[in-house]
Amino acid sequence: MIEVLHYEFMRHALLAGLLAAVVCGVIGTLVIVNRLVFLSGGVAHSAYGGVGLAFFLGWPYMIGATLFAFGSAMIMAAVSIKSKQRTDTIIGVMWSVGMAAGILLLDLAPGYNVDLMSYLFGSILSVPAGDLVVMAIVTLVVLLLVAYFYSDLLLMSYDEEFAEVKGVPVRPLYFMLIGMVAVTVVMVVQVVGLILVIALLTIPPYITEKYTRSLLQMMVFSSLLGMGFILGGLWASYIYDLTSGAAIIFVAGTVFFLSLGVDKLIAMKKRRVWLRSHQSLESGRTGIVDS
């Protein structure tokens, strides 16, 4: 297995995967506890409009996608902070309109068109060194911001109103969080694809949430779990010659369903223990009644 590291593309793929796992573990945790999964999906999909715009105008991909994702994220944040009830509708609209705009702009763009598939599943095996640097910088900035505002984010995530009473700048912090989600999504979409971003943002934190006792633990273990998924998926795609992005998601999905099964087993075992102690109580009581 070690010999794969001789290939530069494999080293890049591993590095990109590790960075994506870390940033997705941290941001994904905040996405899950703040219930922003749908919003993140909306941001990721509407970013496709930016891809189209970038190709149409001949700009670099990154600028178009980042601007579009950031813009739509801020609109969604503004709507969702005003009325939590109707947010999903707005997100749904921006989700589909952004995607459609991207496709139309690509239709109209002259010359070679990008493949929608590579945007959906990414191309983790062909990450250039320059992208790795950008990814590393974004990951570092996100980690620093989260570390600096950790206590504020914790309070806001658990109870917004109480946080505001305590003097946490909830509004700016909320916009910052959504902004970080947007930048993270664009960054990671480029290397691993849209669907893998959503999978990495949601599956590891969802699994770890049940077993961890603090936000920090949840972030750390989500990152580790994400790394495991990426390594496992890459290994499978190398051995069996599969599409890497899809393989990674499949590993994550399998572990996700396994964890649901394990939860069931734990619950059943707990109940058996409870039943046993309860039965012994019951028989003890009837024994007294009988005598």
Which residues contact other proteins (rule: CB under 8 A)?
Answer: 33, 147-152, 154-155, 157-159, 161-168, 208-210, 212-218
Chain-centroid distance, C-alpha 203: 7
**Considering beta carbons, is residue 126 or 217 the nearer one to other proteins?**
217
CB of 231 to other proteins, least distance (A): 25
Picking from 124, 231, 138, 228, the residue whose alpha carbon sits closest to that of residue 182 is: 138
Closer to other proteins at the Cβ: 212 or 259?
212
Least Å from the CB of residue 119 to other proteins: 33
| Rounded Cα gap, residues 151 and 157, in angstroms | 10
CB of 159 to other proteins, least distance (A): 7
Nearer to other proteins, 46 or 208 (CB): 208
Nearer to other proteins (CB atom), residue 210 or residue 269: 210
Q: Is 159 left (phi over 0), alpha (psi -120 to 50) or beta?
A: beta
Query: Does residue 22 contact residue 36 with C-beta atoms inside 8 Å?
Result: no
Q: Considering beta carbons, is residue 70 or 221 the nearer one to other proteins?
A: 221
Q: How far is the CB of 183 from other proteins (least distance, A)?
A: 21
Class of residue 60 by CB neighbours under 10 A (exposed 0-12, middle 13-18, buried 19+) = exposed
Residue type, 37: V
Q: How far is the CB of 288 from other proteins (least distance, A)?
A: 27
Nearer to other proteins, 153 or 192 (CB): 153
Shortest Å distance, C-beta 111 to other proteins: 49
Q: Residue 90 and residue 77: Cα distance in Å, rounded?
A: 10
CA distance from start to end of the chain: 71
Q: Name the minimum Å distance from CB 149 to other proteins.
A: 7
* Nearest to other proteins of 108, 165 (CB atom): 165
Phi-psi region of 64 (alpha: psi -120 to 50; beta: other; left: phi over 0): alpha
